[in-house]
Amino acid sequence: PVLVVDFGAQYAQLIARRVREAKVYSEIVPHSMPVAEMLAKDPAAIILSGGPSSVYEPGAPQVDGKLFDAGVPVFGICYGFQAMAQALGGTVAHTGRREFGGTPLRVAGESALMVGLPAEQNVWMSHGDSVSEAPQGFTVTATSAGAPVAAFEHVAQGFAGVQFHPEVGHTPHGQKMLERFLYDIARIEPTWTMGNIIDDQVAAIQAQVGSAEVICGLSGGVDSAVAAALVHKAVGDQLTCVFVDHGLLRAGEAEQVERDYVAATGIKLKVVDASERFLAALAGVTDPEEKRKIIGREFIRVFEAAAREIASAGDVQFLVQGTLYPDVVESGGGTGTANIKSHHNVGGLPDDLQFKLVEPLRTLFKDEVRALGATLGLPEEMVWRHPFPGPGLAIRIIGAVDRERLDILRAADKIGREELTAAGLDRDVWQFPVVLLADVRSVGVQGDGRTYGHPVVLRPVSSEDAMTADWSRLPYDVIAKISTRITNEVREVNRVVLDVTSKPPGTIEWE
């Protein structure tokens, strides 16, 4: 792999993704990892990322000089560039000239990193200190007003570095530079393609699982669907998937999993219709937290029972999970298998359920998972599906949940989704909840008569990661169409309102 050494900035994940976009596999490692351990991973190159600190701050992370003696190509970015300069005998100075944001860069002479790129270009800078003298044997290949040494390289040794951030979109030629480093300076072949990822993962799953039986809980979401498809490709009918229909799904969802997913993959699927049980447990409950607890608890019981039925028929030792790379990085890394304690990813599993985990997506980002799903032949609607909460429509009915209310919300939600798709806006929107204010009524007029119906709330949002969100500025004509259709086609609804709250202060869901 190419190792991206994380110096504590938010840029390491972005660098890792850009390297992967160049079809080279990359992994993030903490700067505290000893050099010997990095080298044990047999890296094709090492990239030192940006960081918030000055190399002169007490306790600032240093780069161990041994890193440069191993014959591994190294690319330093921003803080990593300065740390590299210092470790190799160059000079880093407080010039007092800060640069932040878009900054003109002048390419000085021949450069392997910037070959074919304009001599004058904009780059994204964010630094206080500057490299004032490059290490011996290095060529200075670019300068800016605030950084006399804005880039350097020593091609024979496979070393290069830049003061700016090539990984951000504000450096228009940044991706080209990364590619020049990877292909020309580090001499790495761009072979990390979806086809190869599938082959590697299939081999790894086969090695891990052997002839044992495997189960997977399908939520209908993209992660579990892709993980299961990959495991199925590896071990075929040793895999059984469990899909719990809790009766709180949207129109067509259970059918999509049962019909389209099975048709695309040929997976053995056990569908458990548990809607009676969930609705009975939820009867009369209006408190959002109580709803969530009840659903979580019932989910565990149903999944557990289904797993026991499958386990008694064979030798089930493995459970598939759709864990993604950001979860792994955020929880401090780690490799290998772990025993489950109580894992929320499958709705929470009991302590005494001892499966080994199969996590074929734990090296991938969400967009890579989608690309993988498409390559595996999963239906497009499944691959590009919007996130949908585990507790389902129960937390989109404000008030008690029952079948009648679920039917009303399902009908309104279906119209919203249909019109969003018809307008070609699915990929512009992160998700589009429709919420039923079941205990609210308002007066309306329809035909010749008075109506006294319920409002629904449209809650389209845009987001990167659901941590923050903004309300989507959908075109008014699309909103108008949705509103007209809902009030015409869903008898119980006589008013449609639009939620124009960002997150924070609102959350995406209403409960």
Distance CA 450, CA 416 (A): 25
454 an active-site residue? no
Binding segment toward ligand XMP, per CB under 6 A, in 115-123, 125-133, 373-381, 386-394: 386-394
Residue 402 binds ligand XMP, judged by CB under 6 A = no
Catalytic residue of the set 31, 127, 154, 165: 165
Do residues 209 and 37 make contact, with C-beta atoms less than 8 angstroms apart? no
The nearest distance, CB 386 to ligand XMP, in angstroms, is: 8
The nearest distance, CB 248 to ligand XMP, in angstroms, is: 11
Say whether 225 counts as a known binding-site residue: yes
Binding test (CB under 6 A) with ligand XMP, winner from 247, 360, 391, 455: 391
Residue 366 binds ligand XMP, judged by CB under 6 A = no
216 an active-site residue? no
Buried/exposed 137-172: b ≥16 CB within 10 Å, e otherwise: ebbbbbbbebbbbbbbbbbeebbbbbbbbbbbeebe
Binding segment toward ligand XMP, per CB under 6 A, in 130-138, 168-176, 382-390, 484-492: 382-390
Distance CA 344, CA 219 (A): 12
Whichever of 360 and 390 has its CB closer to ligand XMP, that residue is 390
Residue 270 binds ligand XMP, judged by CB under 6 A = no
Say whether 336 counts as a known binding-site residue: no
Residue 444 binds ligand XMP, judged by CB under 6 A = no
Q: Which amino acid is at 386?
A: H
Pull the structure tokens for residue 468.
């923050």
The nearest distance, CB 299 to ligand XMP, in angstroms, is: 10
Distance CA 169, CA 180 (A): 17
Catalytic residue of the set 27, 153, 167, 213: 167
Fill in the DSSP letter of residue 114.
S
Phi, psi for 307 (deg, rounded to 5): -65, -40
Distance CA 71, CA 112 (A): 19
Helices 222-235 and 366-375: crossing angle in degrees, nearest 10, is 50
Binding segment toward ligand XMP, per CB under 6 A, in 178-186, 384-392, 434-442, 484-492: 384-392
The nearest distance, CB 506 to ligand XMP, in angstroms, is: 8
Say whether 222 counts as a known binding-site residue: yes
Whichever of 51 and 220 has its CB closer to ligand XMP, that residue is 220
Residue 466 binds ligand XMP, judged by CB under 6 A = yes
Catalytic residue of the set 27, 31, 78, 179: 78
Cα dihedral 85, 2, 321, 240, rounded to 10, equals: 180
Q: How far apart are the first and last CA of the chain?
A: 43
Whichever of 390 and 453 has its CB closer to ligand XMP, that residue is 390
Listing DSSP states for 392-449 in one string gives GGGGGEES---HHHHHHHHHHHHHHHHHHHHTT-GGG-SB--EEEETT--EEEEETTE
Say whether 275 counts as a known binding-site residue: no
Binding test (CB under 6 A) with ligand XMP, winner from 8, 387, 399, 444: 387
241 an active-site residue? no
Whichever of 96 and 505 has its CB closer to ligand XMP, that residue is 505
Closest by CA position to 57, among listed 8, 12, 4 = 8
Closest by CA position to 5, among listed 56, 57, 43 = 43
Fill in the DSSP letter of residue 256.
I
The nearest distance, CB 496 to ligand XMP, in angstroms, is: 20
Binding test (CB under 6 A) with ligand XMP, winner from 50, 217, 220, 389: 389
Collapse the DSSP code of 324 into the 3-class scheme (helix H, G, I; strand E, B; otherwise coil) and give the result: coil
**Binders in 480-509 for ligand XMP, by CB under 6 A:** 503, 507-509
Residue 327 binds ligand XMP, judged by CB under 6 A = no
Binding segment toward ligand XMP, per CB under 6 A, in 54-62, 155-163, 246-254, 383-391: 383-391
Do residues 38 and 126 make contact, with C-beta atoms less than 8 angstroms apart? no
Query: What kind and span of H or E run contains 488?
Result: helix 476-489
Please give the C-alpha separations between residue 263 and each of 41, 229, 322, in angstroms, as whole numbers. 40, 12, 21
Whichever of 444 and 506 has its CB closer to ligand XMP, that residue is 506
Say whether 221 counts as a known binding-site residue: yes
Residue 399 binds ligand XMP, judged by CB under 6 A = no
Say whether 220 counts as a known binding-site residue: yes
Residues labelled as active-site residues? 78, 165, 167
Residues annotated within the binding site are 219-225
Question: Which residues sit at the interface with ligand XMP, rule CB under 6 A?
Answer: 292, 387, 389-391, 431, 466, 503, 507-509
